[in-house]
Amino acid sequence: MGDTANLIRTIVTVMGIVCFLAIVFWAYSRAPKQRFDEASNLPFADEASDRPQQAPSGQTAGSLGAKQ
């Protein structure tokens, strides 16, 4: 029984190391670089829509529809 438990532990450990190395290899390979770059900019995606829009000739966005 003890030999079987040690064999299972060894197999699980080796499989864990192989999975870890596969994930590290995938993360540092060039294939997902574009996706990672896009994902890294996601926190800043809403900033452009949060700012008031700049109107031409120095008017603010709120005064565009106002009659003069």
- The 3-class secondary structure across the chain, one letter per residue, is CHHHHHHHHHHHHHHHHHHHHHHHHHHHCCCCHHHHHHHHCHHHCCHHHHCCCECHHHCEHHHCCCCC
Tell me how far apart the alpha carbons of residues 51 and 42 are, in angstroms, rounded to a whole number: 16
Q: Kindly report whether the global pTM for this prediction surpasses the value 0.75.
A: no
pLDDT at 16: 98
The sign of the dihedral angle between the CA atoms of 18, 21, 27, 31 is: negative
Residue ranges of the chain whose pLDDT lies below 70 = 47-68
pLDDT at 17: 98
Measured in residues, the chain has a length of 68
pLDDT at 61: 57
pLDDT at 11: 97
